[in-house]
A and B are shown apart, each in its own frame.
Chain A
Amino acid sequence: MKTIIALIACSCVVGMANLSGAAQIASPTIFGSSTQTAAECVVVNGGTTNLAVTVEILDKSGAVLRSSNCDGSLAPGQFCSAGGIINAVLASCIATAVSVANLRGALTIEEPVPDGSGGTYPSPIRSSPLR
């Protein structure tokens, strides 16, 4: 019986231990055509405590194209992003933090839209969530 109790206690402790340590949420790889060259990966902290978060946009080989450390700490309810013109065709995004339970993110591909004055502005055309 002592063995059973020890086993239960051990399972409980080990189960809790899995909640600590760096964790990650990631998007699938998504495609942008030759005119859809801008990407934005945004995360929001839905928790109640500050969170150290790193956001990275990767190419098809896993090389980092854009990154942000969110100024070291992301406050509750605050957003953080990495993005820009990446010209990658295939891109994905990962966000790393001690806990990702309350972290949500999405990778969005943007394309230039005429602004009516001869210029353009970026407009999101598709997104994929980080999980």
Chain B
Amino acid sequence: MKAYAALAAFTCVFGLAGPARAAQILSPPLPTSIGSSGACYIRNTGTTAIHVQVSLFSNNAIVAAQYHDSCSGVALPGGQTCWVLVDHLPDGSFAACSATSGNIAKVRGTLEIRHRSPLRILVSEDLR
């Protein structure tokens, strides 16, 4: 009977969790202005390298040539930061940033909406 109780508890706890897999953190969306740029900084707070897939996206099209991604395709060492920069976000739109990793608990991120010239931060929000 104890075995049944243990099995029931195990199923309850781990049945909901499922196998380990890539998980996501996501920023709140922020509005852009006229002449806005965007930055999403991702930091690996752990001590071992991890792979992180980062996306800075909008409800309107971002020109591929203005999208610069230092995160994808390489391992991010412990304590290091990578980023996605967008030179020109669509005017009067919305933008958000997501990061996906197999070890998302160690990942921190922030999205910034900036005015391009003169360069200054308008608003920012953390990924969670």
Report how many residues on chain A are interfacial, defined by Cβ distance under 8 Å. Answer: 36
**Which stretch, A2-10, A60-68, A84-92, touches the partner chain B?**
A2-10
Q: A95-131, CB under 8 A of B: which get 1 and which 0?
A: 0000000101110101001010000011111110110
Residues of B at the A interface (CB closer than 8 Å) are: 1-2, 4-5, 8-9, 11-12, 16, 24, 26-34, 57, 59, 94, 96, 98, 113, 115, 122-126, 128
Judge whether A124 and B24 touch: CB under 8 Å. no
With the chains together, A90 CA to B16 CA distance in Å? 41
The reply to whether B12 and A124 contact each other, CB–CB distance below 8 Å, is no
A11, B94: Cβ atoms under 8 Å? no
In the bound complex, do residue B28 and residue A104 qualify as a contact, i.e. CB atoms below 8 Å apart?
A: yes
The answer to whether B115 and A123 touch across the interface, beta carbons within 8 angstroms, is yes
Q: Which one of B26, B29, B34, B125 has the highest number of Cβ atoms from chain A below 10 Å of its Cβ? A: B29
**B125 touching A106 by the CB < 8 A rule?**
yes
Contacts of B31 on A, CB cut-off 8 Å?
A: 40, 42, 81, 108, 110, 124
Tell whether A46 pairs with B30 under 8 Å between CB atoms, given A1-B1, A5-B4, A127-B123: no
B26–A44 touching, CB < 8 Å = yes
Q: Does A28 contact B (CB under 8 A)?
A: no
B94–A44 contact, CB under 8 A?
yes
Contact yes or no, A11 B12, CB < 8 A: yes
Which residue of A12, A46, A108 is within 8 Å of B26 (Cβ)?
A46
- How many angstroms from the CA of A129 to the CA of B110 in the assembled complex? 12
- State A12–B1 Cα separation when bound (angstroms): 18
A113 and B96: CB pair below 8 A? Answer: no
B29 touches A8 (CB 8 A): no
Q: Whose C-beta in chain B lies nearest to the C-beta of A38?
A: B31
User: Which of chain A's residues have a CB closer than 8 A to the CB of B122?
Assistant: 123-125
Contact B123 A5 (CB under 8 A): no
A52 to B5, CA, bound (A): 39
Chain B residues closer than 8 Å to A130, beta-carbon distance:
28
- Does A31 sit at the interface, judged by CB under 8 A? no
Chain B residues contacting A4 (CB-CB under 8 Å) are 5
**A42-B94, A44-B94 are contacts. A105–B115 as well, Cβ < 8 Å?**
no
Give the most central of B31, B94, B128: most A CB within 10 Å.
Answer: B31
